[in-house]
Chains A and B, each alone.
Chain A
Amino acid sequence: MSGRIVITSTGIVSALGVGTSANQKALKDKKAGLRHPAILQTKHADEFIVGEVLHSNEELASMLNLPSAAAYTRTTLLALIAMQELMNEENQALLKDTKLALVNANTVGGMCSVEDYYLEFISDKEEGDFVQYIDTLDCAESTMHLSQHFNLKPLKATISTACSSSANAIILGARLIQAGLADKAVCGGCDALSRFTLNGFHSLKNVDKDPCRPFDKDRFGLNLGEGAGYVLLEKEEDAIARGANVLAVLSGYSNTNDAYHPTAPSPDGDGAFNTMQQALKKAKLQPEQIDYVNAHGTATLNNDAAEGKAIERLFSNANISFSSTKPYTGHTLAAAGVIEAIFSIWSLQNGVAYPNLNYNTPMEEISLQPNTEFVEKEINHCLSNSFGFGGNNVSLVFSKA
């Protein structure tokens, strides 16, 4: 890449907590955020565990100094919470007068509110609290609030490619900067738990009642999660010129499609292999140079078989550490790509590969095993995978600044 793109700020909220230090501490303490839902109102609350952010909408609103949570969806509130961490005083001043792109990602918009009010939506009633939620189903609703709440005037784009959405947001931000259409880009994604998605994945019979076990022979499926994350991208030279603390370099990326099946990955992992290989090519790196792979690792039967095979094939000669952090956070869908990108950046900074929690029995399909404990070592290059429905695959490569 001409003129390297770097990450200079991040903001995060997940089931591990609000903000960087809470998330880092939970990761370090191997303290997973999965429990039975307390805030999501669902008939399946006793049946499933989820990665829920343990704050009510009203609590989130007060953390944002909003008068109330009314008219805000939980999706938007989570987005604002993550963004608030990124928008420290320095960035507020910086981003106000810059050619900015805001690339957000989302899978079901404000469905978490819409599903509560839908019968009123379609009733004969013309007035009521429900009216203020009618337009919140749109994925762009949270994007609009992000720019308005923080007084920004960016080019706004909202991406929805299922579970790879926010990884795609990071790619678009980098490309907009490279093309000169933006000087800085805030990229990320948000998703709140909803009955719609929980029942949707349940209808696909791939939600685990127990904590998920990525890459384990006895895995059953995923646990859903919620959260949001944003990263600030800019050119390395600009970051250095303004004396910014460069957290990592986005050294490579790839967006490809499986073209295999509407929801299932190609069973031999050809799609995942292709995506990872393209990302390495873009980063001009050999597989041996990757120190840690933060896998998509949803713990569904299909994903882990395909991704596991692809990782084994690509990194067969490398002493690779790989793990999925989804047993910590649950699968946060559109937020997963950016949350795991941020985890990967911390991995570079702290020289640590995360453990793949809940792993016991090796899969039959592959001989490679994820690391089950922290691996402390120099991590110079880290690859993060996000694969979605529709065959939408993304790999990102982060390198030490």
Chain B
Amino acid sequence: MTKPIYISSASAISPQQTYEDEGLLNEIVSTDNGELYIKEPNFRKYINPVAIRRMSRLLKMGICAGMNALEQAGVEKPDGIITGTGRGSMTDTERFLLDMIELDEGALTPTSFIQSTYNSINGWLALQTKSNGYNQTYVNRGSSFELAVLDAQLLLNEGDEQQHVLAGCFDEITPDYVRVKSKIGYWKKPTVNNLELYKNSDTNGSIAGEGAAFFCLTNKPENTICSIEQLHIIQEDSIEDVSTVLQQTLAGINLNDIDIVLSGMSGDVRFQPFYDTFLSNLSDKTSVAAFKHLCGEYDTSTGFATWLATELFKQQSLPEVLAAKQGNSGSVNNILIVNHYTLNSASVILLKKN
């Protein structure tokens, strides 16, 4: 069976101050309009001025988070680059599609077509790091990030020598994307302030979010932050089945060891009963935290949660802004990420501090 793999660095660009930032979540961004867009860092640090002019925002987000994770880990050229995205560059997809419709299939420029390709960020990261190794992109809704991690786990288990894999995820929202998805109940109506999100779970839907998160993963424990002990990908045909399988999965985990549960409570009334039951049965030791009130709901939000976990391991405490319940465990050694996503998927990720 597969052995654990280790996270040696983590980088996140999110709606909060999370990128190259000293101190965890010192200032919290809050909004009442139900849309959490990323705080733009200085993208020019990792992208050359000629290339950056044509690049759309998701490319810049993905490349910078990826390059920053590599820099933190001191890895110049990873052995593999594996990513997951639910939607790819919506900006480019929408732009090419609308131009094509408006120009009635007239003369179009290829830039947004090329950048709408889901693997374009992988291509850029390979190009920038001259990495000829394994390269893969998963586009599988709420399991996209998890599949990237699973593949990294396979890859790192396939060899005995130390290897470094850059794995990550990226998704963006656009005004049109938010509007279109509102027609099929993605978002809370009326919306709520993001900081109140998980306390408001009496309507369907959540708030829109986005972000990029990248990790350097390796198969040796030295100089790493934590290990990925378990990864469960749950994909069923209905919300009820997802909840059932999720409960079965969690029943197989020793919850007494868990210091913090990072729960994907999204404010959606359909998922809250599951979280209520699960979280209320945890012991006094275990803290319960939320994360979607900070990053919003999107296909690869568990990438943000995983980044958050690496920060909690470093900090050894749980900031109030995350806590739904402070447990009495004095340290942070085991974190369980439990996430339920709109399109009938869920995941469980168990991380253990090194």
Do these two chains interact? yes
Let me know if A139 and B118 touch, CB within 8 A. yes
Of all chain B residues, the one with the shortest Cβ separation from A128 is: B183
Contact of B100 among A115, A139, A148, A168 (CB under 8 A): A115
Let me know if A119 and B235 touch, CB within 8 A. no
Task: Give the distance in Å from the alpha carbon of A174 to the alpha carbon of B235 in the complex.
Answer: 21
Distance from B231 Cβ to chain A, minimum over Cβ atoms (Å): 11
Would A107 and B179 be within 8 Å (CB), given that A44-B105, A199-B108, A255-B135 are in contact? no
Contact of A180 among B1, B93, B105, B184 (CB under 8 A): B1
**Bitwise interface map of B from 79 to 112 toward A, beta carbon under 8 Å scored 1, else 0:** 0010000111000010011101100110111100
Would A139 and B140 be within 8 Å (CB), given that A119-B101, A259-B126 are in contact? yes
B301 within 8 A of A: no
Would A196 and B179 be within 8 Å (CB), given that A158-B139, A392-B135 are in contact? no
Let me know if A203 and B158 touch, CB within 8 A. no
Distance from A324 Cβ to chain B, minimum over Cβ atoms (Å): 22
Q: What residues of chain A lie closer than 8 Å to B183, measured between beta carbons?
A: 121, 126, 131, 134
A262 within 8 A of B: yes
Q: What residues of chain A lie closer than 8 Å to B132, measured between beta carbons?
A: 256-259, 271, 274
Distance from B120 Cβ to chain A, minimum over Cβ atoms (Å): 6
Let me know if B81 and A257 touch, CB within 8 A. yes
Interface size of B by Cβ–Cβ distance < 8 Å?
Answer: 60
B147 within 8 A of A: yes
A327 within 8 A of B: no
Would A259 and B131 be within 8 Å (CB), given that A134-B183, A172-B151, A390-B122 are in contact? yes
Q: What residues of chain B lie closer than 8 Å to A122, measured between beta carbons?
A: 176, 179-180
Q: What residues of chain A lie closer than 8 Å to B124, measured between beta carbons?
A: 262, 390
A113 within 8 A of B: no
**Bitwise interface map of A from 237 to 261 toward B, beta carbon under 8 Å scored 1, else 0:** 0000000000000000001111111
Contact of B154 among A176, A204, A259 (CB under 8 A): A176
Contact of A256 among B114, B129, B134 (CB under 8 A): B134
Let me know if B120 and A260 touch, CB within 8 A. no
Contact of B101 among A111, A115, A179, A390 (CB under 8 A): A115
Let me know if B139 and A106 touch, CB within 8 A. yes
Task: Give the distance in Å from the alpha carbon of A111 to the alpha carbon of B139 in the complex.
Answer: 14
Distance from A283 Cβ to chain B, minimum over Cβ atoms (Å): 16
Q: What residues of chain B lie closer than 8 Å to A156, measured between beta carbons?
A: 140, 143, 235
Contact of A161 among B107, B137, B150, B176 (CB under 8 A): B137
Task: Give the distance in Å from the alpha carbon of A176 to the alpha carbon of B136 in the complex.
Answer: 15
Distance from B49 Cβ to chain A, minimum over Cβ atoms (Å): 17
Distance from B321 Cβ to chain A, minimum over Cβ atoms (Å): 32
Let me know if B86 and A138 touch, CB within 8 A. yes
Task: Give the distance in Å from the alpha carbon of A231 to the alpha carbon of B87 in the complex.
Answer: 26
Would A138 and B154 be within 8 Å (CB), given that A155-B233, A389-B120 are in contact? no
Let me know if A259 and B141 touch, CB within 8 A. no
B206 within 8 A of A: no
Would A203 and B140 be within 8 Å (CB), given that A160-B119, A262-B124 are in contact? no
Let me know if B117 and A257 touch, CB within 8 A. no
Distance from B114 Cβ to chain A, minimum over Cβ atoms (Å): 6
Of all chain A residues, the one with the shortest Cβ separation from B135 is: A257
Task: Give the distance in Å from the alpha carbon of A108 to the alpha carbon of B23 in the complex.
Answer: 40
Distance from A127 Cβ to chain B, minimum over Cβ atoms (Å): 8
Contact of A259 among B104, B116, B127, B176 (CB under 8 A): B127
Q: What residues of chain A lie closer than 8 Å to B343, measured between beta carbons?
A: 135, 138, 140
B157 within 8 A of A: yes
A42 within 8 A of B: yes
Of all chain B residues, the one with the shortest Cβ separation from A127 is: B183
Let me know if B127 and A195 touch, CB within 8 A. no
Q: What residues of chain B lie closer than 8 Å to A162, measured between beta carbons?
A: 117, 119
Most chain A CB inside 10 Å of its own CB: which residue of B97, B122, B130, B151: B97
Distance from A192 Cβ to chain B, minimum over Cβ atoms (Å): 15
Let me know if B96 and A261 touch, CB within 8 A. no
Q: What residues of chain B lie closer than 8 Å to A172, measured between beta carbons?
A: 136, 151
A150 within 8 A of B: no
Of all chain A residues, the one with the shortest Cβ separation from B175 is: A122
Q: What residues of chain B lie closer than 8 Å to A159, measured between beta carbons?
A: 136-139
Of all chain B residues, the one with the shortest Cβ separation from A156 is: B235
Would A199 and B135 be within 8 Å (CB), given that A162-B119, A259-B130, A262-B127 are in contact? no
Of all chain A residues, the one with the shortest Cβ separation from B181 is: A134
B123 within 8 A of A: yes
Let me know if A199 and B114 touch, CB within 8 A. no
B222 within 8 A of A: no
B133 within 8 A of A: yes
Contact of A389 among B96, B104, B119 (CB under 8 A): B119
Task: Give the distance in Å from the alpha carbon of A281 to the alpha carbon of B140 in the complex.
Answer: 31
Task: Give the distance in Å from the alpha carbon of A290 to the alpha carbon of B31 in the complex.
Answer: 61
> A interface vs B, CB < 8 Å?
42-44, 106-107, 109, 111, 114-115, 118-119, 121-122, 126, 131, 134-135, 137-140, 143, 148, 155-162, 168, 172, 175-176, 179-181, 195-196, 199-200, 202-204, 255-263, 271, 274, 388-392
Closest 8 CB pairs of A and B: A390-B123, A200-B113, A160-B118, A139-B139, A203-B110, A257-B135, A257-B126, A158-B140
- 22 A-B pairs with C-beta separation under 8 A: A106-B139, A107-B117, A107-B118, A118-B98, A135-B343, A139-B140, A155-B233, A156-B235, A157-B147, A159-B138, A161-B119, A161-B136, A161-B137, A172-B151, A176-B154, A196-B96, A255-B135, A259-B132, A260-B127, A274-B132, A390-B123, A391-B123
Other 4 A-B pairs with CB < 8 A, given A139-B139, A160-B137, A390-B123 = A199-B105, A255-B135, A261-B127, A392-B123
